[in-house]
Amino acid sequence: MKKSNFWQTRFGFFAILVLTFAAKDLFAAYCDFNLGLSDPYQHFIIWLSPFGLAAAIISLGLYVPRPLLSYISMLVLDLANTVLLFANIVYYRQFNDFLTIKTIQNTSKVSQGLGKSTVALLKPQDILIWIDLIIIVALLLLGKIKIDQRSYGISSAFAASSAACFMLVLNMFLAETSRPRLLVNTFDRSYVVKYLGLDTFTAYDMFKSARSNSVKKNANADELNQILSFTQQNYAKPSSTYFGKARGKNVIVIHLESFQQFLINLKINGQEVTPFLNSLYKSKHTLAFDNFYHQVGLGRTSDAENMLETGTFGLSDGSVFTSLGSENTFQAAPQILRQRGYTSAVFHGNTGTFWNRNEVYKNFGYNYFFDANYFSNEKNDKIGYGLKDKLLFSESIKYLEQMQQPFYVKYLTVTNHIPFDMDDDDKDPNFKTTSTSDQTVNNYFLTAHYLDQAVQEFFTYLHKSGLYKNSLIIIYGDHYGLSDSDNDALASVIGKSADDWTSYDSIKMQKVPYMIHMSGLKGGINHEVGGEIDALPTLLHLLGIKSQQYVNFGTDLLSPSHRKAVVFRNGTIVTQKYVITGSRSKRPSLYDASSGQPIAWKTLTAGQKKRLKKLIKFELNSLHFSDLLNNRNLLRFYTPAGFIPDQPTQFDYKTNYQQMEKIRKQAGSQSTSLYSQNGGSTTSDYQTDASELKNRRDEIDSVDLAKLQKLSPSTSKSKTSSK
């Protein structure tokens, strides 16, 4: 066989596929993934990685005896690998992480809300991921690449597979030398990809996922006892000043999507980005926290919800909502509060299946879930992740006023979500945003400004309707909106320099607002370190509910013995004194919490080291026990004193309005809904400058009525009785 003909043989074709796949795999490794490749050794390993498992997979096509089928098999295997690569590239742009089996399994549930922003995440260079396959198929069709009709024995295919497997083993050996126990201590997925490549990472993840499914089946009550003793020891007694201060009040939780603490009091072009939230932050009736961190993992928004309402962490991988939320037993805020006579609801302008909420909320004990079905649906009413915030708040009133008081309600806003798109009509002509080179950064301030206005309109209504004086209002940001890739452009906006930006700065960017506001509440800005995990015990104590019997991994922020440390899902720990990264490694990296100066481990005294090790152990245990609790669904073995579990099947989110109306009518003069107290609807108290409504004020009422008619046959009467 002449050497020049090699490319026209079956093995030549195999080589073409492997080389082109390797080329785009490496392109992605360098241009799309931020793997932090530093020394030449790491570069060498990454160049090796595509010739291992990826080549082994494509080589399976060589075993097919019939020539045409063999070519097609190799192409299909290459295509499957390419799809995996491409999906990871797109996912990485948004989440700074790689796809796991759990995420893929739950994609159908998440993707319903992701469509628009996925398109926004595509880049022209992505064509390079597909171009090789297109060209190869074209060359095959044109006969430029001929199908090699000779037959080969198993042994030559085996030789190719063996060569690939040898590369894989060599790759793993070199990785092990450079980074021992890589697969045992997986604290960061990017390390596995960096040292073993995407295919090996995915295969490893499949193996891990299969193993965790078998773990759940072997759960036992002893583990629960271990966890209970851990959380009991961690319990912090409530402050005598605040315990029961909001007893019997309505609770209104406003979830500010992707809202970071640095936005508070930030001025751009001389103007405040969020003037209303700033005024609340400074109000003497607001307890604000300026050292409060989000602690979400891959479950993002749903992780924040989970922490705030169940007092347990999200998972190390995937989302509690999507992977466990349908089956698990929870002891969540709506359920705990129902024992005190509360009615609960969520208002959210996205589809109910997003993050599996329609199932999880039943297990959380929510009476009502008002998803996109309950709100207007005109083309211009939605953007990005659903109904625009101003419309969400204003259209929620006709439902809110029907709820029996006291109520616990949550508003999940969506407009301030990456890519922070907004229609021109919704932009405040008086607010000028930044003009950095990063459009994401510029947009972020526009949507944050819009969100601020939406919250202000809602507050104006709360005052006007009288709900304000009976309500405790909690406002928080769920997680970061701008990711590390935006820091270069962001640095100058917040008075920093991109050149001196450190991982300490990135960690400080994970602060989000947490504010508790109530008429007459003794407020102030609290500087103690805290996080989302601390929210549930804080709320319960304010409402005068003891929390010790519940499994909470955080502590009351207002308690004198509040634990002043937070742990992130990736193991980063922040205390009043230190910021600690790499806490799972032998020598964690330390920074001074206020100056950001690195602290060398060896400069610490023996006593300091010992205390730090103890602290790290405790925080990592906290994550570990929370994972154990959720992964094995251990709360099904535990009923706290005074807690009556709900039947999730008792809830039906399709007939919310009918249910509320029926309750009001049955209660008669005992009805505590705002509608009853007011002797009719309060929707006319709501003022919004939402551009969508300007031209169809009258029209929208009729649209709503028609819609409510569908959901509830007797609604039309409510309008005539309004005053």
Window of 62-70, 239-247, 294-302, 665-673 that interacts with Mn ion by CB under 5 A? 294-302
DSSP string, 579-601: EEE-TTSSS-EEEETTT--EE-G
The residue among 25 and 478 lying less far from Mn ion, judged by its C-beta, is 478
* Torsion sign over Cα 652, 655, 658, 660: positive
List the catalytic residue out of 301, 312, 415, 572. Answer: 301
- For residues 60 and 64, give the distance between their C-alpha atoms in angstroms, rounded to a whole number: 8
Is residue 301 close enough to count as binding Mn ion by CB under 5 A? yes
The SS3 call for residue 672 is coil
Neighbouring-strand partners of residue 524: 287
Q: Which residue's C-beta sits nearest to Mn ion? A: 301
Is residue 413 close enough to count as binding Mn ion by CB under 5 A? no
Peptide bond into 65 cis (omega under 30): no
The residue among 475 and 579 lying less far from Mn ion, judged by its C-beta, is 475
The residue among 301 and 415 lying less far from Mn ion, judged by its C-beta, is 301
- For residues 34 and 197, give the distance between their C-alpha atoms in angstroms, rounded to a whole number: 13
The residue among 264 and 540 lying less far from Mn ion, judged by its C-beta, is 264
Quick note: the x/- pattern for Mn ion over 612-651, rule CB under 5 A, is ----------------------------------------
- For residues 677 and 696, give the distance between their C-alpha atoms in angstroms, rounded to a whole number: 29
The residue among 259 and 675 lying less far from Mn ion, judged by its C-beta, is 259
- 279 near 500, Cβ under 8 Å? no
Residue 44: CB atoms within 10 A of its CB come to: 11
The residue among 283 and 351 lying less far from Mn ion, judged by its C-beta, is 351
CA angle 606, 610, 611 (to 5 degrees): 120
Residues between 252 and 271 with contacts to Mn ion, criterion CB under 5 A: 257
The residue among 120 and 228 lying less far from Mn ion, judged by its C-beta, is 120
- Which helix (H) or strand (E) covers residue 346, if one does? strand 343-348
- For residues 419 and 383, give the distance between their C-alpha atoms in angstroms, rounded to a whole number: 10
The residue among 478 and 692 lying less far from Mn ion, judged by its C-beta, is 478
- 409 near 660, Cβ under 8 Å? no
* Nearest distance in Å: CB 417, Mn ion: 6
**First CA to last CA distance, the chain:** 94
The residue among 476 and 578 lying less far from Mn ion, judged by its C-beta, is 476
Quick note: the x/- pattern for Mn ion over 645-684, rule CB under 5 A, is ----------------------------------------
The SS3 call for residue 123 is coil
* Nearest distance in Å: CB 553, Mn ion: 21
Q: Which of 699, 655, 32 is nearest to 370 (CA)?
A: 655
Is residue 199 close enough to count as binding Mn ion by CB under 5 A? no
The SS3 call for residue 478 is coil
The SS3 call for residue 322 is helix
* Nearest distance in Å: CB 113, Mn ion: 11
- 230 near 563, Cβ under 8 Å? no
* Nearest distance in Å: CB 77, Mn ion: 37
- 287 near 516, Cβ under 8 Å? yes
* Nearest distance in Å: CB 303, Mn ion: 9
* Nearest distance in Å: CB 301, Mn ion: 3
The one-character DSSP state at 402 is T
Q: Is 601 left (phi over 0), alpha (psi -120 to 50) or beta?
A: alpha
Window of 297-305, 344-352, 481-489, 498-506 that interacts with Mn ion by CB under 5 A? 297-305
Spatial CB neighbours of 28, under 8 Å, sequence gap ≥ 6: 85, 88, 89, 129, 198
* Nearest distance in Å: CB 477, Mn ion: 9
* Nearest distance in Å: CB 479, Mn ion: 6
The residue among 32 and 532 lying less far from Mn ion, judged by its C-beta, is 532
Spatial CB neighbours of 460, under 8 Å, sequence gap ≥ 6: 687
Number of amino acids touching Mn ion (CB under 5 A)? 3
* Nearest distance in Å: CB 422, Mn ion: 17
Distances (CA, A) of 722 to 674, 680, 681: 12, 4, 5
- For residues 263 and 278, give the distance between their C-alpha atoms in angstroms, rounded to a whole number: 9
* Nearest distance in Å: CB 454, Mn ion: 16
DSSP string, 285-315: TEEEESSEE----TTHHHHHHHHHHHSS---
Window of 301-309, 553-561, 574-582, 673-681 that interacts with Mn ion by CB under 5 A? 301-309
* Nearest distance in Å: CB 364, Mn ion: 17
DSSP string, 173-187: HHHHHHSTTTTTS-S
* Nearest distance in Å: CB 262, Mn ion: 17
DSSP string, 17-82: HHHHHHHHHHHHHHHT------SHHHHHHHHHGGGTHHHHHHHGGGG-SSHHHHHHHHHHHHHHHH
301 is catalytic: yes
The residue among 132 and 257 lying less far from Mn ion, judged by its C-beta, is 257
Biggest CA-to-CA distance, the chain: 97
Residue 566 carries which side chain, given as an amino acid letter?
A: V
The residue among 257 and 317 lying less far from Mn ion, judged by its C-beta, is 257
Residues between 470 and 489 with contacts to Mn ion, criterion CB under 5 A: 478
Residue numbers at the binding site for Mn ion (CB under 5 A): 257, 301, 478
Task: Kindly list the catalytic residues.
Answer: 301
